Amino acid sequence: MERFLDSLARLASKDADHAFANRLMQARWYRHTARQHEAFRILDSLKRTVPNDAWEPTYLVNYQLAKTLDGLGLPAQARSAATTARDAAKAMGRSEETLQMELLLAEIDLNDARYDDALADFHRSLGISRKERSVEGIGRSLVGIGNVHYHQEQDSVALVWYRQAYEHALISNDAGLILSAALNIGAAMTYVEGEEAAMGFYRSILDSTDTDWFPRIRADILTNLASLHSDLDQHEQALRVLQDALAIYAEERDTVSMAQLDLYRATALWALGRKDEALTEVKLAIRRSSALTLRGQAWLKRADYLSSMGRWAEAFEALSMGHALNDSLARRRFSQSIAAAQVQYETAEKDLRIFEQTQTIALAAAEDRRKNIQRIALGISALAVTVIALLLARSLRNRRRLAEQERKLHAQQVDELLKRSEIEALNAMMEGQEKERDRVAKDLHDRLGSMLSAIKHQIDGLDATVLELKEEQRGQYRKVNRLLDEAVGEVRRISHDMVSVTLARFGLEKALEDLCDSVRVNGGMTVELSLFGLEKRMDRSMEITLYRIVQELVSNVLKHAAAKELSIGVTRSPGRISVIVADDGRGFDPHAVVGGIGLANVRARAAAIGAQITVNSTPGKGTTVSVEGPVME
């Protein structure tokens, strides 16, 4: 493509039309390679060189400009450019191009969540398409109407429109429209009629001979069918379907889709317990994919699998690779946002220049009119000149007086606005300070409770030494120990459901480190803490719940286990959180425990975040408690 652009550039030096075509092709190339800002600069420059009555170049430039601005997330500017392109197409009498711009305007409104406008636009496009007998226009309009309802969660209504689009696509034998309508039908049908109905619909398409001409349609339908099998835990069926789809993508040499299917196959294999094969599929997806997003997903999935298998070093390496790719993608998106902001600024600056030029021309015209009036007045009589001069002087004085009054009024309004903002800021600050004081007071209780528990644990470690003391000293020790027990119980009652200051300020990772430090005893119980994926903060309520779960489990170990070693592991992977607390203490029979408050609290907290708890323990062989649940990204 770049060689082709170079050849156009050589021709452009000899021909103005070639120069225009070269610049237009460059802009389109930049847009398709995600360099939207460069595309905007070229198109904005071309737009200023096109005469107002040159409809063909006006249409071409504004069509590409509308697509570019929509890609930059600037719907208002995109809508303006698309309207200009539509008007140019109408002026040329091009009905097909006019319809394309109507559809583009509808899609811009849909992307901007202006659902009422988008629905009206698609219905208007449908009417025009039927009048013009445009096969593509009818299909895109029907799908567009369905998309508007689907985005508003009106799935049953969307399904009606998607089916109309599908029937139209079959009649017109339009492969792209068949695929779009079929996939949309499957998605809507899943919510309206259930997964089995959607699977039946997909199988009917695969059994139809009409799709033999379109292998790509079969591959995409097979992929969606496999996804539904996985949703229903039918992983063997999903693997068979994915294998068929993979063969088609291989013939099409579509490595991106093949890599995506490798990840789907890895998920199914893992669910079937075939863990080594799942890791092989993930590795294959990493080798195949050139897309940053897909490679990042593959590395994070590999990290999740390896950590579940206890292969921590490899898991950490895979997690680092995934985060590196995600950081690169985030930087690219940030650059795209900066480009959009810069385009918006340049557009506003250009509009301001046009406004200033218009004002200058208007002022110059007004000055010319004033001079003409003066010349006419001088020709009539000197008295008329004097009267006009007086009137002009009075007008200028009034204008200055009005301008001064407007300036003072504006200044007064600005002062009042600043004062109101200042007052609101002070009120917000005071309210925040009050909340902070309450929170700090509660946090003091929480930290004091943890410290007392740690002191109690350490004092308990001195039992053997106390036996060597005199009876009077042993009695004093027992009294202090009893008072400390009462203090621990009182603080625990006061600090119930309060959040630690470390958790609130520094997050779950630092809070767990502090918790472990507080229960470590030299020469006594050793505590090991393993954390993965907690660098990014989670929702505050989620962090509090996880901290409380770990805190309760550690408290149970201190009170009941008589353990020498304690292991705490918290792993966060995409969409999942895992907590494991294990000790080598005396253990217990989970089925024989009745009325235990500690585990009941843990189960209640886990249920509150949609997590499940598993307790593995045998008398004399220690205890392992695991908590698995979802987490919002």
Is-contact 526 566, C-beta < 8 A? yes
**Three-class DSSP category at 15:** coil
Q: Is the pLDDT of residue 358 over 80?
A: no
Give a yes or no: residue 620 inside a domain: yes
CATH label of the domain that carries residue 523 = 3.30.565.10
Give the per-residue pLDDT at 205. Answer: 83
Query: What is the distance, to the nearest Å, from the Cα of residue 31 to the centroid of all Cα atoms in its chain?
Result: 22
In whole angstroms, what is the distance from residue 492 CA to residue 515 CA? 15
**Model confidence pLDDT, tens digit, residues 527-542:** 999 999 888 888 888 8
Q: Final residue of a domain: which of 93, 108, 128?
A: 93
Q: Are residues 516 and 405 in the same domain?
A: no
Q: Is the pLDDT of residue 337 over 90?
A: no
Give the per-residue pLDDT at 488. Answer: 67
Instruction: Summarize the confidence of residues 192-201 as an average pLDDT.
Output: 89
DSSP 499: P
Q: Are residues 394 and 517 in the same domain?
A: no
Instruction: Summarize the confidence of residues 172-176 as an average pLDDT.
Output: 81
Is-contact 602 613, C-beta < 8 A? yes
**Three-class DSSP category at 68:** helix
Strands 612-617 and 623-630: antiparallel
Query: What is the distance, to the nearest Å, from the Cα of residue 399 to the centroid of all Cα atoms in its chain?
Result: 54
Mean pLDDT of the chain: 78
In whole angstroms, what is the distance from residue 190 CA to residue 226 CA? 14
In whole angstroms, what is the distance from residue 247 CA to residue 487 CA? 69
Phi and psi (nearest 5°) for 618?
A: -135, 135
Q: Are residues 613 and 514 in the same domain?
A: yes
Q: Are residues 622 and 522 in the same domain?
A: yes
In whole angstroms, what is the distance from residue 431 CA to residue 184 CA? 49
Give a yes or no: residue 284 inside a domain: no
- Number of structural domains, the chain? 3
Residues 6+ apart with CB under 8 A from 187: 150, 198
Question: pTM of the predicted model, to two decimals?
Answer: 0.47
By mean pLDDT, which of 31-40, 360-369, 575-584, 611-620 is the weakest?
360-369
Give a yes or no: residue 3 inside a domain: yes
User: Of 178, 168, 266, 259, whose CA–CA distance to 221 is shortest?
Assistant: 178
Give the per-residue pLDDT at 629. Answer: 93
Residues 6+ apart with CB under 8 A from 511: 500, 502, 503, 543, 547
Residue 7 is inside which H or E element, if any?
helix 2-12
Q: Final residue of a domain: which of 40, 62, 93?
A: 93
Residues 6+ apart with CB under 8 A from 366: none
**Model confidence pLDDT, tens digit, residues 417-453:** 654 554 344 334 434 443 554 455 455 445 566 666 6
Q: Is the pLDDT of residue 8 over 60?
A: no
User: What range does the domain containing 605 cover?
Assistant: 506-633
Give the per-residue pLDDT at 397. Answer: 83
Give a yes or no: residue 293 inside a domain: no
Q: What would the 3-class secondary structure string for 329-369 be?
A: HHHHHHHHHHHHHHHHHHHHHHHHHHHHHHHHHHHHHHHHH
**Three-class DSSP category at 375:** helix
